[in-house]
Structure 1
Amino acid sequence: MRRIVEVSAPGKLMLFGEHAVVYERPCIVTAVDRRLVVRTSLYPGNKLILNAPDVGINGYESEISRLGRNENLPKGVRFVEQSVVNFFDLYNVSSGVKIETESGFSSEFGFGSSSAVTVATIASLFEIFQMSATKKEIFDLSYKTVHNIQGLGSGFDLAAAIWGGTLYFVTEGKIIEPLEVESLPLVVGYTGIKADTPTLVRKVAELRKTNPKTIEAIFNSIEAVVDGAKMKIKGSDYVGLGELMNENHKLLKSLGVSSLELDTLVKAAREGGAYGAKLSGAGGGDCMIALVPKNRRNEVENAIEDKGGKVIKVGLNAEGLKVEK
């Protein structure tokens, strides 16, 4: 067995299909060039030793047999714990492990730090125990782990962390199709408000229970937008893609998941010359995105910042899961 391994996974940015993807619809997601690193080594005994300074955890330890019982731990720690539990249970391994995490992005932006740390932890365990695994096997175990912690979810952020690039994705990984994308001229604006993804997903689930016909019709419209966006991306039709962004945002507003802050930044970006703009992710806060002509990028960025947003510089279509050493 190897003595120490280092694995990294990227964050993600949702382009099209939020919320509907939880209900058997497609979405389009891209990996961003902010990475989370997990270093894993074997440790004497049967304990997990965890250092995760990005969530304020240093020198945390627990018996492997007691992992997953403390719901008061920071969410990032719970994802690491559950990853270890599920891996050890599935493969019947016995050892102590020491895990250190290092994040290249703040969880506040909504770039998918929970998914990145789950994927990187599970991949590092396969490596440290010298077990081969396909991307789909890593996805399936990661998906189970995320569901153990937060219930509802589609897995698109896990797929982005594993495959990287830009993906057309259907719920639970039924379809994971890499899209050939040269570059998308996107501006990312942060509202300054942290979104509560599980709460927003539950809110939409409740809406669907009380008004199923209306919500399913919205989901069907979002699906049509996603499929249209897939074709526009392939054809590099940015004007058409921007129009679909605007339509997607309108549909998400009708689900009640946007916010005054998001709407303000989206409107500012459009008025600044963007082809189109929308919220990105669960809504309620976090980030919005705008597709911009090259000669209007500065105007759009300034328009977002003039309304109190923060422009986040990220590269898109980034490399997926990677064994660093």
Structure 2
Amino acid sequence: MITAKAPGKLYIAGEYAVVEPGYPSIIVALDQFVTVQIEQSEGFGKIVSHQYQDGAVRWRRNGDQMVIDNRDNTFSYIISAISITEEYAQSLGKPMKVYDLFVNSQLDSPNGRKYGLGSSAAVTVATIKALCQFYNLPLTKAKLFKLAAIAHLDVQGNGSLGDIAASVYGGWIEYRSFDREWLMSMRNTAGLLDIINQPWPDLKITQLTPPKELKLIIGWTGSPASTSHLVDKVTIKKSSNREAYLKFLSASKQCIESLLIGFNNGIIEQIESGILENRHILNALSEFTQVQIETPMLKRMCDIAVNHGAAAKSSGAGGGDCGIVIIDDNVDSNALIKDWQSEDITPLPLKVHEVVDVKS
């Protein structure tokens, strides 16, 4: 049986601006994973996921096409990842097979509630990794990112794909998104091999090394949020106040570039300052778009952390889910955690996923 896994992620800074091509963000991969296992079968194949409670999806072959038996299913990202990978395999002349695919996720709470750790991205990446092993397909991190980005976009239709980058590369990364309109045009005019074998406009993914004394603490508000819906809302609002939106983009870019200098030079105070500044920038975006990014619970979470000498902000699209705290490891954080718990904010026992495979 073939096994592949991909880590979840959290945005550290640069949210919303990162959906614009070339605008920087900082993302971290976490040590919680989606694991995909594949074994060959005959006749019918099945897709089984512990994430979903509505049973397995059964499928069969009609020539080289995958035919899903039950039309209404919640496995959209898995199916899209299979479709893209099999398109890649067929373009390299590989014969199609039937197989069983098993998915197990650590990225949700024990009762199935989402933490906002990028489970859809991680399952997309893990599925493609496993299938590339199954079909013995050549795969670099760059190709894996591109295949997973296409598969994810085919389902979600928006977003920066930074969560895909974190699941592929691991650790701390700087991420700048590619031109999605260019990709849509290429999908209509070029073959998949041609698309994944060439540079993508504006795309940049760089591994970062945090200062040794930097400690990341993650708090969960207990309230899930939909990234795609929140991004849609901001997209609708930004056109009505273009001047304010361009000001937001400029401020976010300047802030993240200062944060990156802090990472590159190992200056934790500069990183903390950048996190606090990015929080203010996102709150200004929230004000003029009327999209709630920092919920009352996230605000309490951040304010408590700041009162204990840390830097904090919402993570990702906001609207619930998680917030992040950057604090000097030499500072005692026990009182911070205790105050969180008194406000029903759950500290998540997560660590950064360490990068072992350096293959690009």
TM superposition score normalised by structure 1: 0.91
Deviations 1:112-136 (A, max 9, x none): 1111110010011110011111111
Aligned to 1:282: 317
Correspondence 1:156-305 to 2 at 5 A: 156-172=162-178, 174-183=203-212, 184-256=214-286, 257-274=293-310, 276-293=311-328, 294-305=330-341
Aligned to 1:142: 148
Q: Choose which of 97, 101, 104 in structure 1 pairs with 2:103.
A: 101
Write the distance in 2 (CA, Å) between the matches of 1:204 and 1:226: 20
Aligned to 2:32: 34
Write the distance in 1 (CA, Å) between the matches of 2:15 and 2:70: 30
2:225 alignment partner, SS class: coil
Give how far 1:88 is off.
1.7
Write the distance in 2 (CA, Å) between the matches of 1:219 and 1:68: 42
Confirm or deny: 8 A CA contact 2:10 2:28 kept in the other structure: yes
Aligned-partner residue type, residue 28 of structure 2:
T
Write the distance in 1 (CA, Å) between the matches of 2:78 and 2:56: 14
Write the distance in 2 (CA, Å) between the matches of 1:237 and 1:317: 21
2:55 alignment partner, SS class: strand
Aligned-partner residue type, residue 166 of structure 2:
A
Write the distance in 1 (CA, Å) between the matches of 2:302 and 2:242: 28
Give how far 1:298 is off.
0.9
Give how far 1:187 is off.
1.3
Deviations 1:128-150 (A, max 9, x none): 01111111111111001111111
Aligned to 2:137: 131
Aligned to 2:11: 14
Distance 1:261 1:137, change over 3 A: same
The worse-fitting range, judged by mean Cα deviation, of 212-221 and 276-285 is 212-221
2:355 alignment partner, SS class: coil
Write the distance in 2 (CA, Å) between the matches of 1:30 and 1:126: 25
Deviations 1:138-176 (A, max 9, x none): 111100111111101211111111111111111037111
Give how far 1:13 is off.
1.3
Deviations 1:30-63 (A, max 9, x none): 1111111100122223x44111012224332123
Write the distance in 2 (CA, Å) between the matches of 1:270 and 1:239: 13
Give how far 1:71 is off.
7.6
Q: Choose which of 38, 51, 56 in structure 1 pairs with 2:53.
A: 56
Confirm or deny: 8 A CA contact 2:36 2:130 kept in the other structure: yes
How many residues are treated as equivalent by the alignment? 315
Distance 1:280 1:67, change over 3 A: farther
Deviations 1:70-109 (A, max 9, x none): 78422xx111111111222333242212110111221611
Aligned to 2:195: none
1:98 alignment partner, SS class: strand
Two-structure CA RMSD over aligned residues (Å): 2.1
Write the distance in 2 (CA, Å) between the matches of 1:157 and 1:85: 20
For structure 1, which runs of at least 5 residues remain unmatched after alignment?
none
Confirm or deny: 8 A CA contact 1:49 1:61 kept in the other structure: yes
Confirm or deny: 8 A CA contact 2:302 2:323 kept in the other structure: yes
For structure 2, which runs of at least 5 residues remain unmatched after alignment?
179-199, 287-292
Residue 112 (1) aligns with residue 112 (2): no
1:99 alignment partner, SS class: strand
Write the distance in 2 (CA, Å) between the matches of 1:29 and 1:105: 16
Deviations 1:241-279 (A, max 9, x none): 1121111111112222221111111111111221x1100
Write the distance in 1 (CA, Å) between the matches of 2:85 and 2:138: 13
Distance 1:249 1:109, change over 3 A: same
Q: Choose which of 307, 311, 323 in structure 1 pairs with 2:343.
A: 307
Confirm or deny: 8 A CA contact 1:68 1:82 kept in the other structure: no
Aligned to 2:194: none
Write the distance in 2 (CA, Å) between the matches of 1:160 and 1:71: 31
Higher relative contact order (CA 8 A, sep 6+): 1
1:37 alignment partner, SS class: strand
